[in-house]
Amino acid sequence: MPNNSSIKQITDYQILNGGFCPNPSLLEGKMGITLFFFLQARFTHNNCYEDFAGELLDDICDSLHIGLPITFADGLCGIGWGIEFMKRLNFIEGDTDDILCDIDRKIMERDVRRISDMTFEYGLEGIAIYVRSRIDSVRATKNKQPFDPSYLEELEESCLRNNILLYSTQYSTDSTWNRILDILATHPFSEEKSWKRGLVKLRTIYE
């Protein structure tokens, strides 16, 4: 069980400072902070944390622009995946298609056949994980898909060529979340009260 006093210190610090983070991304910025507070709210049953997470998410959505990179670590794919993750855990309600349609269109502008970076954080694998989360998303109209068939075909072919098994359990939401936590756990934290440290400490509760 994580040290509750340590997590409380991180939480208090991030309430005061997290809203000023200029970076909206999942692994480096405000989307990661938002997930930390939604999870803290669930574990502590503290509605104040949930309200704060909702405010952070509103800030992200209001300031989101397609000029951001499409990468998973510090760009649109990670932000979009985070929103799908929140929906899956019932942190948010509504149709994610309405929220993510601009990101979907921006992703499809990238020619996946010519991507040279295959990594999770900055390359093809991260794009594939975002697309998988969108395909798996629960919709009112079951047959509706956010991506053009031709784009999906090109992505599937590129993934196969690079041994990325798009529809395997390796790229499910739960597997991706554990992978994110593994990445955060193996990187040194720049500050004692980092939200990244907080997510890693909460991991044992989440599991």
pLDDT, tens digit (0-9, with 9 covering 90-100), for 12-54: 999 999 999 999 999 999 999 999 999 999 999 999 999 999 9
Do residues 41 and 92 lie in contact, with contact meaning Cβ atoms separated by under 8 Å? no
Domain tally, the chain: 1
Q: Which domain holds residue 124?
A: 4-206
**DSSP secondary structure string for all residues of 122-142:** TSHHHHHHHHHHHHHS--SST
155: phi then psi, degrees, rounded to nearest 5? -65, -45
DSSP state of 27: T
Mean per-residue pLDDT over the chain, rounded: 93
Beta strand ranges found along the chain (DSSP E) = none
Rounded CA gap, 199 and 53, in Å? 14
Handedness of CA 103, 120, 37, 193 (dihedral sign): negative
Rounded CA gap, 71 and 73, in Å? 6
Taking 50 as the threshold, does the pLDDT of residue 120 lie above it? yes
Quote the distance between the C-alpha of residue 194 and its chain's center.
Answer: 18
